[in-house]
Amino acid sequence: MSINIPRGTKDILPGEVEKWQIIEAKAKEISARFNYKEIRTPMFEHTDLFQRGVGDSTDIVQKEMYTFTDRGDRSLTLRPEGTAPVTRSYVENKLFGLAGQPIKLYYIAPMFRYERPQAGRYRQFVQFGIEAMGSADPAIDAEVISLAMSLYKELGLKKLRLVLNTLGDAESRKTHKEALIAHFEPSIGEFCSDCQNRLTKNPLRILDCKKDRDHELMKSAPSIIDHLNEESKVYFEQVKTALTEMNIDYALDPTLVRGLDYYNHTAFEIMSDADGFGAITTLSGGGRYNGLVEDLGGPPTPSIGFAMSLERLLMALEAEGITLDTEDVLDCYVVALGDDAKRKSVSLLNELRQAGIKSDKDYLDKKMKAQFKAADRLKAKFVAILGDEELAKGIINVKNMQSGEQTEVRLEELSSFIKQGK
C-alpha cells in the first residue's frame, strides 16, 4: 500500500528548492539592510492565542485552523499566521523593555490553514513576514511597505500594484462600525450566515466576504474614509507623503479591509498584474495593529507588519518569465580506478571538503567513462583522476573540464591547485 502526500501540501525537490534558497537569502539580506532581526517561534501555540489575537470572527479562526488536544488535555493549534506568535513572544520575553526601540523583527516560516487548495495556495505554506513594534511614526509604515516592494523588485518583478487604505483609529472605527451595522442590518437576512454572525461582532469583515461581494448593499456601504477623525486623516496623509518621497506608487482602495481583526490605521496589499497570474492577484498584505500587544497582556505598543507567501512570489516570477539563477556546479569530481586508489579517494575527498572545495565521487563502482558522465552531469569544473600507478607515485591527474587541459599534480597539493583554478 503506497502512502501519498497529504492534500494541500507539496514536496520541494532538488532543482526547485534552490529557487527557494535564493528567495530566502534575498529576504534575509534585505531585512538586514533595513535592520530587522530574525525571530523563530514554535510551530504550534495555545489555541487561545489565535482566538484572541487573530479574532473569533475571522475565517482563519472559524474555519481554517488545525487545532488538536494534546495528552495534557491542552488545546493547541498549528500556526496559521505569524503576527500573533511574534507578538506573544514580544510580550512574554519583555522585548518592550529592551533599549533600541522599535523592535524590528522578521521570520520565514511554514504556516498551516485548512482551506481549499488551488494554484499558489496550500494547506502548508511558507511566509516571509516583518513586524516593527514600538513606534507610531507613519514613516515606519512606509518603511515596511518599502521593504516588501524592494524584495519583489530586486528579484525582478515589474508588474506590481500597491493598494493602500486606512482603517482609522479606535474612535474612527467605532463610528464606522455603527454606520455599517445601520446600513446592513435591515437586509442582513439576504447575506450568508458568516456575514449575519459578523454584523454586530465585526461588520467590517462583511466587506471582505467572497460570497456576497456582488450584493447591491456592498457597493453603497459606508466608507471608512467618510468616518475618519482628524487625527486619522493626518496620519494617513503622512504615510502617503512618505511613500511619495520614496517614489513608491500606490492606488487608494477604501474597500480594502484585510482579513484579520487586529488591524487599524494603515492597511495595504501588493498585487501582481502579470498576464496569466490568476484570479487571486494578491502577493502580500499587511497593516498597523496598535492594540494587539496590549490585548495579549503587554503595554500599549503601536506596531505594523506584513506577510508574503513565497509560493505566490514564485508564481509571480514564473508569470513574468523571470528565471532565477540556480546553476549548481561542483568544484571537483574524483575518479578512482583500482582498489588502492578507491580506498585513497575516501580520505582525499574528505581533505578537499575540509578545504572548502565542493566535491564528490562515485559510490556505485562505475567504469571510468560512466564516472566522467557523472562529472559532466554535476557540472564539475575539474575531474581528478587517481589510479593505483599514480597513487604509488604520489600524484594525481587533474583535468580542467572547460579547457580540456590535463595537469599532473602532487597529491598533497591537490586542494591548493583546485582552489587556484576555481
pLDDT of residue 179: 85
Residue 315 lies in a domain: yes
CA distances from 308 to 126, 164, 208, 305 (A): 8, 16, 19, 10
Q: Whole-prediction pTM value?
A: 0.88
Domain that holds residue 289: 17-169+229-319
Nearest to 281, CA basis, from 48, 116, 119: 119
pLDDT per residue, tens digit, the chain (422 aa), is 789 999 999 999 999 999 999 999 999 999 999 999 999 999 999 999 999 888 776 778 888 999 999 999 999 999 999 999 999 999 999 999 999 999 999 999 999 999 888 877 899 999 999 999 999 999 999 999 999 999 999 999 999 999 999 988 888 888 888 888 888 888 888 888 888 888 877 787 787 777 888 888 888 888 888 889 999 999 999 999 999 999 999 999 888 876 555 678 999 999 999 988 877 789 999 999 998 999 999 999 999 999 999 999 999 999 999 999 888 899 999 999 999 999 999 999 999 999 999 999 999 999 999 999 999 999 999 999 999 999 999 999 999 999 999 999 999 999 999 999 86
pLDDT of residue 260: 58
Q: Are residues 279 and 344 in the same domain?
A: no
The Cβ-side half-sphere exposure at 404, using a 13 Å CA radius, reads 0
Among 287, 319, 351, which residue terminates a domain?
A: 319
CA distances from 281 to 159, 259, 374 (A): 11, 15, 42
AA letter at 360: D
pLDDT of residue 92: 97
CA distances from 52 to 172, 196, 284, 355 (A): 22, 21, 23, 52
Residue 103 lies in a domain: yes
Nearest to 87, CA basis, from 300, 310, 308, 309: 300
Among 273, 297, 319, which residue terminates a domain?
A: 319
SS3 290: coil
**Torsion (CA) 115, 121, 123, 126 in degrees, nearest 10:** -140
192 contacts 133 by C-beta, under 8 angstroms: no
Residue 188 lies in a domain: no
Q: Are residues 58 and 157 in the same domain?
A: yes
Grid cell at residue 200: 454586530
Q: Are residues 298 and 356 in the same domain?
A: no
For residue 85, cis peptide bond before it (omega within 30 degrees of 0)? no
If one counts the domains in the chain, the total is 2
Q: Are residues 160 and 248 in the same domain?
A: yes
91 contacts 97 by C-beta, under 8 angstroms: no
